[in-house]
Amino acid sequence: MDKVKKSSEFNHFNSLAEEWWNESGKYNVLHEITPIRVKYILNSLKAKKIEKLNVLDLGCGGGLICEPLARLGCNVTGIDFVEKNIQAAKLHSKQNNLKIEYLVQDLANINLKKKYDLVIIFEVLEHISNWDQTITSIKKILNKNGILIISTINRNIISNFFAIKLAENFLKWIPKKTHNYNKLIKPEELKKCLIRKNYSILDFSGLVYNPISREWKLSKYNKLINYFCAAKLN
């Protein structure tokens, strides 16, 4: 963890830990898209019953996804490499009488004995230099036929303008310096990595914002900026 604590990503998210549950604060966009994230998770599970599923949220932050899944009856574990994030998550879940296990761990080297039916990693891979290794680590803790759901940001001229220059610097939807363009991941890169590691691709969908209606929605065709991926471990 010492090396992680010295990273720019750690310092950035550590300074924002108290903002997680402020719906009009610096993470307000994450609050806006939480219902869509949950919808995508449920759609990806299809016939699987959500109740009693063992779920792992990697890079859980303050627990924005952990809490709705716990309310749906899942056995939820949340992991983050920033201790202040975990402290914020624990406090909020306690205030809402939710039983969620929260742990501090390095996401590049996951060390868990338990296996899970569902692993989610939202807006995290693009902050990890060796994200390929993280995908490998997930294989060890995902049950056979278990589901992995990822959301991240595409790497192209359009995403650079909208997700970084516009969203961070002009609209201030997310804090400045949240993303590094060179670390963004193209869907084809993610797809090749998952197939190479014995996953079957279930879905790729974009997350699109409509500035007129001010609403977010899923799109099967537009994956130019934010996108989801669902895959099954064979």
Tens-digit pLDDT profile for residues 143-199: 999 999 999 999 999 988 878 777 767 666 666 777 788 999 999 999 999 999 999
Mean pLDDT over residues 58-79, rounded?
Answer: 97
Mean pLDDT over residues 129-139, rounded?
Answer: 91
Tokens for 27?
Answer: 């993470």
Q: Where are the domains of the chain?
A: 2-110+119-233
Give the pLDDT of residue 168: 67
Does residue 2 register a pLDDT over 90?
no
Tokens for 215?
Answer: 């609403």
Does residue 222 register a pLDDT over 50?
yes
Give me the phi and psi of 224, to 5 degrees please: -70, -30
Give the pLDDT of residue 107: 86
Most distant CA atoms of the chain, gap in Å: 47
Mean pLDDT over residues 86-113, rounded?
Answer: 93
From residue 30, give the alpha-carbon distance in Å to each of 19, 26, 90: 11, 9, 18
Give the pLDDT of residue 5: 42
Q: What is the pTM of this model?
A: 0.88
Domain 2-110+119-233 has CATH 3.90.870.10: no
By percentage, how much of the chain surpasses pLDDT 70?
88
The span from the CA of 27 to the CA of 106, in Å, is 22
What DSSP assignment string belongs to the chain? -HHHHTSHHHHHHHTTGGGTT-TTSTTHHHHHHHHHHHHHHHHHHTTS--TT-EEEEET-TTTTTHHHHHHTT-EEEEEES-HHHHHHHHHHHHHTT---EEEE--TTS---SS-EEEEEEES-GGG-TTHHHHHHHHHHHEEEEEEEEEEEE--SHHHIIIIIIIIIIIS-SS-TT---GGG---HHHHHHHHHHTTEEEEEEEEEEEETTTTEEEEESS--SSEEEEEEEE-
Give the pLDDT of residue 162: 78
Q: Tokens 């959301």 appear where?
A: 151
Cα 158 from chain centre: 21
